Structure 1
Amino acid sequence: MAENQSIKNQDSSDEIDLGQLFQLIGRGFNAIFRFILRVFLYLKKNAFILIGLILLGLAVGYGLNQIVSKRLKTEVIVKPQLNSKNYLYDVIDELQSNIAAKDTSFFQSIGIMDIDFSGLEITVGKAMEEVTSETDMQYLELLQNFENTNAIADLLRAELEDKSSFSHRITFYYKNKEKGSEFAKKVMDYINSNSYFDDVLQITRNNAENRIEQNQVLLEQVDRIVTNYTNNLASGNNPISSERIILDNQEQVNIADLFQYKNILIRDIEAKKLELAEQLQPISIINFGKPQIVRKSFFGKNIVLVPIVFILFFFLISFLRYLNRKAKLPENSK
């Protein structure tokens, strides 16, 4: 009998707990509904004021867009040569510091006589990153077979420098289109007027030209050896197994390695010719862009930003008035 009574009490308590839970859920939904209703009534009550503020903000934002002169920019894509990346960033910092100080004497010294500092700014950053492909990795692995030859050190250094050299974007900001474009050209001339890099660049170009000539001589010798080997093989005078080629390091290389060595010489000649085409200046200019308008983000435009500011300011005033009314309630109750 006692057990039945305890079971009934437990069931009734469970029903009471569930009932309280449903009541709490119902109260929560009612609170949410009342909040939504209050917001709706608030917006309905102030609809004309909000619409007026939006229209006023659009008008003021449009007027500001017409009054404030648009900012222009010129983007220059460059590629530093001869490990001149640090020099590029340092000289850009120097130029930006002189712009902030409005040092006209400095810019006159580099040939810029008439300069407008209004909205003038220079920035630099990485434009793109190069990813080493599977073919490039296979090529570097192939070079390991000839690691004791004289040409391999230069080849590996050229490959590593090429893969670690990224393109960079120099951005010139200004308001005067004519003066800004001329300013960008003068600055690029100043950046590439470094005497140290000019001397190193000339030496590098001479070395590349000499390397091409030497590789062409070696390539002709390899072709003659391969031709003699082919003729001897056709006549049957020498067996294939006894054929060996002696390179400049006095190590024996078979005919298959000789063909690979020939391909390396060809690729080295191609790389040096490419260096001669690229290394014309310390900072090679890949693309010198045209002036363009600086496009702002959607929320950065005055025609959008001003109405939002007006609406937020109105909500802030309404909230402060609401707090003020709540603060006066205890006084009225007294």
Structure 2
Amino acid sequence: MSTNVPQNQDDQEIDLFLFLKKISNFPQWISAMLFKSIQFFIKNGIIILILLIVGFGLGYYLDKNQKKYDHQIIVAPNFKSTDYLYSKIDLLASKISEKDVLFLKSIGIIDPSQLTKISIEPIVDVYKLISNNEQNFELLELMAQNGDLKTIVKESTTSKNYNYHTIILSTNGVTRQGDVVDPILKYLNNSSYFEKIQKISVGNIQQKIKEKEATIVQIDTILNAFSNNHRNAQRSDKLIYYNENMQLSSIINTKDSLVNMLGALKIDLFNSGKVINDNTVIINIKNNESINGKMKLILPVLFISLFIIIGFILSFYKSQRLKAK
């Protein structure tokens, strides 16, 4: 045992010496690598310059000729057709990903190869959702107790209750509304079931408008009669005391309420012209997300990086080959 202890101490001293030697040589190693890197760029300067020019030129060409554009359609599904709308968009998305040209042409799209993607997302309006129905507020309050409210308002079960939704289309190059947007809107509105629901709903709204207008005419008759009686009383210099049972103020308030309801019904009638009502269409929004429009910067860096990696591999191979000999 006494002979092994000195041997272990010697080994530890040797390891420590080698470690300290490597640390002392570390700055020299950095200097050597820096020198080799500078030497590499000087030696291959012409090649690197060519790669830089070629990469920029090719990237500029791709950016100019392969532009991607987005198109947005803000829609309001009527007659509780939100689930129908989302299912139709899902079907279109699958047909586009499958490149089903026959189907896309059958619904009126001029150049199906130009269309690359379609999606839909709700326009989150929690305040409108709550104001329309008190039960929605209670439901959101209950759900928020078990999760994050920001996440809940964007979940599919909640998002389908919003009034407005945005359909997003993506195409290669600019397009016209009649080539892509209008055929898709026509396809979304092509439903025999919802067309029947639309016809019934429009009839109901028109009937309500007639009833409200008739009631307003009756109220105007009562108010005119009161006005005439009031003028006659002033001419005869007699005081007339009107019984509170006439509820004149209540009649005026009722008329105001009916006028407001009539205005809302006319707006509903206007918005009921389609099953999926398109409120706003915005086309040809240039898409600069991800690498779109950035190829003239990406390709030069990519080409030079590949050249450096290949040069490093070849240099390493040559050095190891010389050592092997």
Question: Taking structure 1 as the reference length, what is the TM-score of the superposition?
Answer: 0.60
TM-aligned CA distance change 1:99 to 1:274, over 3 Å: same
Corresponding position of 2:185: 188
Does the 8 Å CA contact 1:54/1:311 hold for their aligned counterparts? Answer: yes
Give the conservation status (yes or no) of the 8 Å contact 2:119–2:168. Answer: yes
Secondary structure at the residue paired with 1:280?
coil
The equivalent of 1:169 in structure 2 is 167
User: What is the correspondence of 1:218-233 to structure 2 with a 5 Å cutoff?
Assistant: 218-223=215-220, 224=222, 228=226
Counterpart CA distance in 2 for 1:69 and 1:126 is 26
**Cα distance in 1 between the residues matched to 2:279 and 2:195:** 18
Q: Residue 238 of structure 1 aligns with which residue? A: 243
Change (3 A) 1:64 1:168: closer
Match of 2:124 among 120, 129, 144: 129
Alpha-carbon offset, residue 208 of structure 1 = 1.0
Partner of 1:296: 288
Q: 2:69, 2:270 → 1: CA distance?
A: 32
Q: 1:265 to 1:140 in 2, by over 3 A?
A: farther
- The amino acid that maps onto 1:125 is I
Partner secondary structure for residue 193 of structure 1: coil
Seen in structure 2, the aligned counterparts of structure 1 residues 235 and 204 have a Cα distance that, compared at 3 Å, is: same
Root-mean-square deviation (CA, aligned residues, Å) is 4.6
Query: Given the superposition, is the C-alpha separation of residues 42 and 132 from structure 1 closer, same or farther in structure 2, using an over 3 Å criterion?
Result: farther
Contact 2:69 2:287 in 1 (8 A): no
Q: Which residue type is aligned with residue 39 of structure 2? A: K
CA displacement at 1:207 relative to structure 2: 1.0
Retained in 2: the 8 A contact 1:116–1:176?
no
Runs of 4+ in structure 1 deviating by more than 6 angstroms, as ranges, are 33-39, 321-332
Match of 2:39 among 30, 34, 45: 45
Q: Which residues in structure 2 correspond to 1:72-221 (within 5 Å)?
A: 72-107=69-104, 109-111=106-108, 116-126=111-121, 128-130=123-125, 132=127, 164-175=162-173, 177=175, 181-221=178-218
* Other structure's SS at 2:113 match: coil
Is the CA contact 1:78–1:284 (under 8 Å) kept in the aligned structure 2? Answer: yes
Q: 5+ residue gaps in structure 2?
A: 1-22, 135-160, 234-238
User: Could you tell me how far 1:326 is from its partner in structure 2?
Assistant: 9.5
Is the contact between residue 118 and residue 169 of structure 2 (CA under 8 Å) also seen in structure 1? yes
Deviations 1:260-304 (CA, angstroms, capped at 9, x unpaired)? 5443322211111101111111111223344x2643337442211
For residue 94 of structure 2, what is the amino acid of its counterpart?
S
Q: Distance in 2 between matches of 1:87 and 1:190?
A: 12
- 1:307 partner amino acid: P
Instruction: Report the Cα distance in structure 1 between the residues aligned to 2:261 and 2:127, rounded to whole angstroms.
Output: 18
Mark the CA change 1:42 to 1:59 in structure 2 (over 3 Å): closer, same or farther.
farther
* Counterpart AA for 2:188: I
Q: Distance in 1 between matches of 2:291 and 2:96?
A: 28
* Distance of 2:204 and 2:104 partners within structure 1: 36
TM-score, length-scaled by structure 2: 0.61
CA distance in 1, matches of 2:291, 2:174: 25
Structure 2 CA distance for partners of 1:127 and 1:228, relative to 1, 3 Å: same
Answer yes or no: is the 8 Å Cα contact 1:77–1:288 preserved in 2: yes
SS at match of 1:296: coil
Structure 1 residue aligned with 2:16: none
The residue identity in structure 2 corresponding to 1:279 is: S
Say if 1:73 and 1:174, in contact at 8 Å, map to a contact too: no
1:20 matched to which residue of 2? none
Does residue 278 (structure 1) correspond to residue 293 (structure 2)? The answer is no
How far off its partner does 1:94 sit? 2.0
Maintained 8 Å contact 2:76/2:276? yes
Deviations 1:81-114 (A, max 9, x none): 11222212211222333334444543454456xx
Following the alignment from structure 1 to structure 2, what is the Cα–Cα distance between the partners of residues 206 and 55?
Answer: 68
Task: Give the residue type in structure 1 aligned to 2:167.
Answer: R
Distance 1:131 1:210, change over 3 A: same
Q: Which moved more, 1:103-112 or 1:317-326?
A: 317-326
Deviation at 1:58, TM superposition (A): 1.0
Do the aligned partners of 1:70 and 1:293 also contact (CA within 8 Å) in 2?
no
